[in-house]
Structure 1
C-alpha cells in the first residue's frame, strides 16, 4: 500500500503514514476549516490499511501541539479504528507526545487512553522546543 503523506499547513497537521513499515504519524496543529475534507482521506487510507490482513505491529505516533474540538472527534474516530483492529488481534501501539508543562495535552491523552482497552497507549513527555 502506498504511503500517505500530507504536508502540514498553518491549520492542519502533517500526516506521515508509512503503511509498509507500520509506522503512522500525525504532528503539528489541527484546526482545519473543514475537518471532514481534511480527515476523509486519512480515514479512508487508515481503514483500508487496517482491513488488509497483516500481522506486523502498527505504531501510531501522535505529536499534536494543539487541536480543536472537531479534530478531537476525528482523533476519536482514528482511535476507534485502531481499537477495532487491536481487538481483532493486531498489535497496535499509540504514543501520545505532549510538551513538558502542557497539562491540557497530557490530560487529553489520558482521556483518550481510558477508552482504549486493546491498544497499547503510552504518554510521552517531550521538550517544549518540539516533539520527538
Structure 2
C-alpha cells in the first residue's frame, strides 16, 4: 500500500501516513473550508489500510495547534474509527501532542480521551 501524504496549508494540517514505516502523523492547524472534502480521502485511505494491514501496532501522532468545530467533529469521527478497529483486536495508540502553553489543546485532548474506550490515548506535552 502506498503512502498517504498531504502538505500543510495555512488552514489544513500536514498528513503523512507511511504504512511501510508504520509512521502516522497529523500536524498543524485545521480549519479547512470544507472538512469533508479535505479529510474524506484520509478516511478512505485508512479504511483500505485497515482492510489490508496485519496485526501490527498503529501509533498516530497528532499535533494540532488550532482547529475549528468542524475539525473537532472530524477528529472525533477519526477516534471512533480507531476505537472500532481497536475493538476488533488492533493495538492502536494516539499521541495527542500539545505545547505546554496551549491549554485549550490540552483540554481538547482530555475531552477526546474521555470519549474513546479501546484505544490508548496519550496526552504528550512538549516545550520549544
What range is the shorter-chain TM-score in? over 0.9
Partner of 2:34: 34
Deviations 1:39-62 (CA, angstroms, capped at 9, x unpaired): 010110011112225111000001
Partner of 2:21: 21
Cα offset, 1:24, TM superposition? 1.1
CA distance in 2, matches of 1:45, 1:96: 21
Within 5 Å, which residues of 2 pair with 1:69-80? 69-80=69-80
* Structure 2 unaligned residues grouped into runs of 5+: none
How many residue pairs are counted as aligned between the two chains? 128
* Structure 1 unaligned residues grouped into runs of 5+: none
How big is the alpha-carbon RMSD for the aligned residues of Structure 1 and Structure 2?
1.0
Q: Does 2:65 match 1:62?
A: no
Identify the range of structure 1 (45-54 vs 112-121) with the bigger mean alpha-carbon deviation.
45-54
CA distance in 2, matches of 1:35, 1:53: 26
